[in-house]
């Protein structure tokens, strides 16, 4: 059976045109700094966000971990939202690799409010208490359902945190989606952060790769730590070429992902209103709360799989579906034939 895969936007396949670019990419040894395709990609992405330099990494998690290591010393504190990727999905890497402690604030749908963060920030706490030295903001917020963070709240947090001497990191794995949904420029996002990570292998459809952005000095230091973590790579221009292709061709296509996600959310809301508020679906993630239904996320997931549709049960009552480059209108029609009916049946059974 060929499945319609909505588990994540990481499941995309390189297009034939992307594969051609990969095959013909000029390459060199990146550990020596000799790969021209990697070098040009790092420079390109850095320029997009108004940053001095970039560092190509195989994963977004590594890009995040390198970035926060540049901002937070061992024994110091990083603040981030309770359900952010850095604290929920990177397996304690900040503590394991860098001795970084974390403290979190809880926000509905992961939506940033500067006042929430500032209320718990504790810089310069002296010799007896942990000091806050950095804040991480995730945009869009994955487990919040693809929430786009307000640029006004980001700016307010930057303004006040700077007065306190606290740095800011942007986990921008899906910043491309935030840009398309909000119209905020990449450079506008960039000016509010000391470090940034962006991912090329989610909505943009590259097979692998993220880029960490910051100053030249921080990137030079992060390059050493990338090697130390085992992430020094050789002829990776073949991967960077896919990143170039993605940036050239796939950013505008994210609007179709957002449109399809909203149609899917509308259909689910129509039959089971408490499962989702379509107004909260800003980008490509449909997060269904099944608490009002007599069914678990695993149950619905299994029924979808029998119908040839893959989703993610991320909690007893939390089902996530993510639209992406390889999810078409024809696929959407098939999902609309199946999912709303399953939700309606579960609602009636309750």
Q: Residue 45 belongs to a domain with what CATH number?
A: 3.40.640.10
* DSSP β-bridge partners for residue 138: 171
pLDDT in tens, 125-139: 999 999 999 999 999
In the predicted structure, residue 348 carries a pLDDT above the cut 90: no
Predicted confidence (pLDDT) per residue in 265-313, tens digit: 999 999 999 999 999 999 999 999 999 998 999 999 999 999 999 999 9
Q: Which of these three, 249, 273, 298, is where a domain ends?
A: 249
Contacts of 223 (CB under 8 A, 6+ apart): 55
Predicted pLDDT at 1: 75
List CB contacts of 264: < 8 A, sequence separation 6 or more.
286, 321, 323, 332, 335, 336, 339
> 219: domain range?
16-249
Last residue of a domain, one of 221, 249, 277: 249
pLDDT-derived band at 346, boundaries 50, 70, 90: confident
pLDDT at position 347 is 77
Q: What stretches of 171-213 show up as alpha helix (H) in DSSP?
A: 175-182, 186-190
For residue 35, what pLDDT is reported?
97
Chain segment 5-33, per-residue pLDDT in tens? 999 999 999 999 999 999 999 999 999 99
Residue 299 CB partners (closer than 8 Å, separation 6+): 346
76 and 210 together in one domain: yes
Non-local (6+) Cβ contacts of 115 within 8 A are none
Record the pTM. 0.96
Task: Give the total number of structural domains in the chain.
Answer: 2
Give the integer Cα–Cα distance in Å for 60 and 64.
6
What is the structure's pLDDT at 350? 55
pLDDT at 345: 86
Residue 280 shares a structural domain with residue 202? no
User: Is there a single domain that holds both residue 285 and residue 298?
Assistant: yes
pLDDT at 160: 98
Residue 109 dihedral angles phi and psi, to the nearest 5°: 60, 15
Q: Which pLDDT belongs to residue 297?
A: 95
Rounded to an integer, what distance in angstroms lies between the CA atom of residue 268 and that of residue 155?
35
Distance of CA 142 to the CA centre of its chain: 6
The answer to whether residues 130 and 151 belong to one domain is yes
Whether residue 349 is predicted with pLDDT greater than 80 in this model: the reply is no
């Amino acid at each position: 059976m060929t499945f319609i895969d909505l588990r994540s936007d990481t499941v995309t396949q390189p297009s034939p045109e992307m594969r051609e670019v990969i095959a013909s990419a000029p390459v060199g040894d990146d550990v020596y700094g000799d790969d021209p395709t990697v070098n040009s990609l790092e420079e390109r992405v850095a320029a997009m966000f108004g940053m001095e330099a970039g560092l190509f990494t195989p994963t977004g998690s590594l890009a995040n971990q390198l970035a926060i290591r540049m901002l937070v010393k061992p024994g110091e504190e990083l603040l981030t939202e309770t359900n952010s990727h850095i604290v929920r999905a990177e397996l304690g890497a900040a503590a394991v690799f860098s001795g970084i402690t974390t403290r979190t604030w809880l926000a509905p749908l992961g939506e940033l409010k500067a006042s929430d963060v500032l209320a718990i920030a504790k810089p310069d706490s002296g010799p007896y208490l942990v000091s806050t030295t950095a804040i991480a903001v995730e945009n869009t917020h994955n487990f919040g359902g693809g929430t786009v963070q307000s640029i006004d709240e980001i700016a307010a947090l930057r303004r006040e945190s700077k007065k306190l001497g606290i740095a800011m990191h942007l986990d921008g794995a899906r910043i491309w989606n935030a840009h398309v949904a909000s119209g905020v420029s990449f450079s506008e996002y960039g000016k509010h952060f000391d470090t940034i990570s962006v991912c090329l292998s989610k909505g943009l459809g590259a097979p692998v790769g993220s880029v960490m952005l910051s100053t030249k000095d921080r990137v030079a230091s992060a390059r050493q730590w990338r090697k130390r973590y085992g992430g020094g790579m050789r002829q990776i221009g073949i991967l960077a070429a896919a990143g170039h292709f993605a940036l050239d061709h796939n950013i505008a296509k994210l609007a179709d992902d957002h449109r399809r996600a909203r149609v899917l959310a509308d259909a689910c809301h129509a039959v089971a209103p408490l499962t989702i508020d379509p107004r909260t679906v800003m980008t490509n993630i449909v997060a269904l709360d099944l608490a009002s239904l007599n069914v678990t996320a695993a149950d619905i997931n299994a029924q979808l799989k029998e119908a040839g549709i893959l989703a993610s049960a991320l909690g007893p009552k939390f089902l996530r579906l993510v639209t992406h480059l390889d999810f078409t209108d024809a696929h959407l029609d098939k999902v609309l034939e199946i999912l709303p009916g399953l939700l309606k049946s579960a609602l009636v059974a309750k």
